[in-house]
Amino acid sequence: MNTDAIHRDLSTAIRVNAAPLSRESWIKTVQQTGMTVEHDDIGPMTLLSPGRIAQEEGVPTLLTIAWNMLTRPDLRQRILSMRETFVRHGSNLGYVVLTARKGN
């Protein structure tokens, strides 16, 4: 995995200086704050997937996004660029969910 290429591609696509962390790095970061990680979960990056948008945000929101993409070429290009980046690096990107407890 070339983390520099992923970082560069994400930063360009989403226009934010994104620095994705691995599961282990997230756990270490949380532990450095004095918290104890009690549970963690990981899964695939499905951001900007139409099915996931419909599931999480609802069909009306999905239709609004689709309409905006059809009527606003600049927005369409930006969203498609982000999605293409997520797909291209899909084997190295995903979500991390942590449940942590403040130290006693």
Quick check: 85 and 40 in contact, CB under 8 A? no
Of 103 and 53, more confident: 53
CA distance 2 to 88: 12
End-to-end CA distance of the chain: 38
Question: What tens digit of pLDDT does each residue of 59-69 get?
Answer: 999 999 999 99
Q: What integer is the mean pLDDT of 75-84? A: 92
In total, how many domains does the chain have? 1
Quick check: 30 and 37 in contact, CB under 8 A? yes
Host domain of residue 44: 3-102
Question: What tens digit of pLDDT does each residue of 1-46 get?
Answer: 678 888 888 888 888 887 888 899 999 999 999 999 999 999 998 8
CA distance 16 to 19: 9
Give phi and psi for 5, each to the nearest 5: -65, -40
